[in-house]
Amino acid sequence: MDYWWLYYVWASLLVLFNGVAWCLNLFGIPGNWIMVLAAAIFILIFPVSEEPGMSWWFVGAALVLSGLAELVEFVSGAAGAAKKGGSRRGLVLAVVGTMLGSIAGAILLSAVVPVVGTVVGAVGGGASGAFGGTYLGEAWKGRTTEESLNVSKAALIGRLLGTVGKLAIGAIVFVVIAIDAFFDF
């Protein structure tokens, strides 16, 4: 490759883009999958046969890790609510509440505390949205206030744990792709 430096410029842009994508996980947007897609597109632009280049094996590992992150997030959120007898409607509304709550929380707290407020608002708003969605779903089902609150609390805790797990695995995906973009293995 005559313009080897161009590869490193694009690799740096890939890492920056993936950092933003990783942050999207806070808002209920599949940032880990976006990182994998960006890495696959990067390999198509800069084929593995050229030096330097990324490996499809690392993209495959990132793909598997992203699937694991989704599983962790879903299972922890659903398990908490299901353990307390949550309904399917409550779980669906918890997912909707998570997305809306994380976006609203990030917007509201970003105005108060610029960087940290966005993260805290997204996580707290997402957990609150899960709580509210589950509560609403259980109340529609005809459950008592106490039953709805118990299921909602479990959904909130499960959602928080799921988000933390997804972010942790997403950080590993980010590092795997970043390392492979700059070093040949």
How far is Cα 101 from Cα 103, in angstroms, rounded to an integer?
Answer: 5
| Domain that residue 105 falls in | 4-182
Q: In tens digits, what is the pLDDT along the chain, a chain of 185 residues? A: 567 788 899 999 999 999 999 998 887 788 999 999 999 999 998 877 666 778 899 999 999 999 999 888 777 777 777 777 777 888 788 878 888 888 898 888 888 887 778 888 888 888 888 888 888 888 887 888 888 888 888 888 887 888 889 999 999 999 999 999 988 76
User: Is the CB of residue 102 less than 8 Å from the CB of residue 26?
Assistant: yes
Structure token pair of residue 63: 């793909």
pLDDT, residue 50, reads 61
**pLDDT score of 6:** 85
Tell me, what's the pLDDT at 15? 96
- The domain total for the chain is 1
Residue in this structure with the two tokens 């996980």, named with its chain if needed: 25
The pTM is what? 0.74
pLDDT of residue 33: 95
Give pLDDT, residue 51: 65
Sign of CA dihedral 120, 122, 127, 133: positive
